[in-house]
Structure 1
Amino acid sequence: MRSYILFLFGLLITVEVGAQQVQLKGLFGDSALLEIDGRQRILKSGDKSPEGVTLLEATTSHARINVAGREQKLTLDAPIAASYTKAGKAEVRLSADSLGHYSIDAWVNGMRVPMMVDTGATSISINYPTARRLGLNLNSARKIPISTANGVTSAYLINLSSVTIGGIKLHNVAATVHSDDFPRVVLLGNSFLSRVDMEQQNGVLVLRARH
């Protein structure tokens, strides 16, 4: 069998539970290289490390772990730092790009979707090609008028079954689907942001789960 090896040095994803820190370092078929509290562990799917971290699944694109009873998906290409506060609440920290935008890889109905934080958007805003890729059913969706830079147009109002960012997962999140390729990048609006605690710390945007 051909062995698929994906390896990436450096910190891409961090999960902290209390004082415990877990970093994804590499993926090797059904195994993952994790750094747990500074110690490197190679685990196969189903293995549990001496520190209590269980590798639930490893693929060529992600690892799914269980830490202190909480499940977390880690990927090699998502520049998100996800952690848990001492109170057990999931936390995501985002750094701004050169234009001051906060970009993030979210998971919508289990599929990865790049998004950009937009506090001025009422809901998550999705272009039509992305909606098709996600398999969203618009047949029974309600049409609503929306205002854009090009004038008033219409969009479909739907509910997304789940939206996951780092360790934060929300269900039944409102979204609007445009009938064209606008916006170019999916906008993470207030239908998600209003349901989490949000603050800025020295240029870093911090999102915290409320439950």
Structure 2
Amino acid sequence: MFCRSLITVLACMLAWPALAASQVQVVGLFPGAAVLNVDGQRKLVRVGQSGPGGVQVVSADSKGAVLRVAGVERHYSLSREYAPGGFSAAPEKQRLSIARGLGGHYWIAGSINGQTVQFMVDTGATAVAMNEGQAQRLGIDYRVVGQPMVVSTASGTANAWRVKFDRVKIGSLEVLGVDGVVVQGSAPTEVLLGMSFLSRVSWREEQGMLVLESKF
């Protein structure tokens, strides 16, 4: 019995340095999800799911998140990211300029959850919006993960589903945890880059160009 206990203690002592070496940070908070940074790997992880290094999100809200790291649960508040050596990492602002295109609109290629998308910028849209055919092409199981709702369109009202995209990216600008809407039918015909993305970056119009910058 003593030998077994001693072996267990030694095993824990050997495992501890590896666990201690992992840097776990919460760098973004949302209802039911958190953005984790584990040893430089950054990902939006929903409650009940595991992220980089096997770190699991037990609960999350605007005040903090409870994470299970190596079997141990602990509350994490929102933290700033730090570079190796302990100095605060000051990320450079990312900037993107888009020329006005067909129909007087701004068009930009980007991605949703890593899948390529052609966006039309629409400041009148409250969220990143698409029709159900586009959602199916992107592999978004909106009927399962989405919340049913009704939206107003140019032709009247339509059934839709409120969803949350893990990440939306255009150029070097990437935003995590973006609200989206999937509309039943064929409208909108284009994927709209709405305010759920645009409000998370800085944007302005300059001489026929739309200039977008990261806020940090």
- Shorter chain as denominator, the TM-score bin is 0.5 to 0.7
Unaligned 5+ runs, structure 1? 1-68, 70-86
Paired residue for 1:129, among 101, 121, 133?
Answer: 133
Aligned: 1:92 with 2:96: yes
Listed as ranges, the matches of 1:46-195 within 5 Å are 88-138=92-142, 139-195=144-200
C-alpha displacement at 1:88, in angstroms?
Answer: 1.4
C-alpha displacement at 1:127, in angstroms?
Answer: 1.0
Whichever residue aligns with residue 116 of structure 1, its letter is M
Percent identity between the two aligned chains: 36
C-alpha displacement at 1:140, in angstroms?
Answer: 3.0
Structure 2-normalised TM-score?
0.56
Give CA deviations for 1:71-106 in whole Å, capped at 9, x if unaligned: xxxxxxxxxxxxxxxx71011100001421000111
C-alpha displacement at 1:151, in angstroms?
Answer: 1.2
The structure whose residues are more often helix, as a share, is: 2
Q: State the 4+ residue runs in structure 1 displaced beyond 6 angstroms.
A: none
- Give distance in 2, aligned partners of 1:133 and 1:153: 20
SS at match of 2:135: helix
- Give distance in 1, aligned partners of 2:102 and 2:178: 29
Q: CA-atom RMSD, angstroms?
A: 1.7
* Structure number, greater radius of gyration: 2
C-alpha displacement at 1:181, in angstroms?
Answer: 1.6
Distance 1:148 1:140, change over 3 A: same
SS at match of 1:191: helix
Listed as ranges, the matches of 1:2-21 within 5 Å are none
Whichever residue aligns with residue 168 of structure 2, its letter is V
Unaligned 5+ runs, structure 2? 1-82, 84-90
Structure 1-normalised TM-score?
0.58
SS at match of 1:126: strand
The aligned length equals 127
